[in-house]
Structure 1
Amino acid sequence: MPVTLNHTIVHAADAVATAAFYADILNLPPPRRLGHFTVLQVGETSLDMLQTDQPITSRHFAFLVSEAEFDDILGRITARQLPYWADPFHRIPAEINRWDDGRGVYFDDPNGHILEVITRPYGSGGLGAQHPNPLLSS
């Protein structure tokens, strides 16, 4: 059996609201309760939301989607008037990137976690891509 990532814990000020936010924006099935977790299934991996009243350290979660799903997700981001960026450092607002000749966008969840939606895996376009991923040149 190959090794796969089964789940990761996501700290949230409001676990139920955070899971609902992800499910809505990403068009995922509704979350379910499992003990003290609110579980959101993302493919074969789950994001297990854990409510906390402690300060939350921002984490980064990237989601690989189809071109059609990207259009739908970006539409939901803009309909909610959520700020979004073409880069993870929030330097290029209200734009998407074309890295690896795909498309990508970054936006924040209600807890300050950085969410990324991409249509091509990092580096998949190689150096021959019209828009190579900037990580290939670093």
Structure 2
Amino acid sequence: MPVELNHTIVAARDKRESAEFLAHVLGLEVGAETGPFLPVQTANGVTLDFATVPEEHITMQHYAFLISEAEFDAAFERIRRAGIPFWADPRQERPGEINRNDGGRGLYFLDPSRQAMEIITRPYGSGADPAA
């Protein structure tokens, strides 16, 4: 069997708030609560299991989602309508912009627990970087 990522745990101040936030932005569903976890599953079967933990135990992690151009348009519209701050870069030096890395589009935003989220339409290294 080839190695596949099955799930990861996402630390949150409030698992429901964070799971519903990400599901809304990405156009996904929040699954049924399983023990201490609230899952959001992606199309390739990877589950993000949100867990409520004390805020002092939350360390920022980065989660990147590869989506289609149409899904990007829809997610970007939901981000803008909700007034969610976004950046073209992970250091948050280009606010209110998107990037065009590898000939696609991408942006970064934070979830309610300040986890770093990213949406991209092309995998890194898949095409020419227009900034190069």
TM-score under structure 2 normalisation? 0.94
Q: How many residues align?
A: 130
Residues 1-138 of structure 1 correspond to what in structure 2 (within 5 A)? 1-43=1-43, 44-55=45-56, 56-125=58-127, 129=128, 131=130
**In structure 1, what is the Cα distance between the partners aligned to 2:32 and 2:118?**
23
Runs of 5+ unmatched residues, structure 1: none
Runs of 5+ unmatched residues, structure 2: none
Query: Segments of 4+ in structure 1 off by > 4 A?
Result: none
**In structure 2, what is the Cα distance between the partners aligned to 1:40 and 1:7?**
10
Which residue identity lines up with residue 46 of structure 2 in the other structure?
Answer: T
Partner SS state of residue 17, structure 1: helix
Partner SS state of residue 41, structure 2: strand
**In structure 1, what is the Cα distance between the partners aligned to 2:71 and 2:55?**
34
Partner SS state of residue 75, structure 1: helix
Report if aligned partners of 1:20, 1:31 keep a CA contact under 8 Å in 2.
Answer: no
Higher RCO (Cα < 8 Å, 6 or more apart): 2
**In structure 2, what is the Cα distance between the partners aligned to 1:33 and 1:20?**
12
RMSD: 1.2
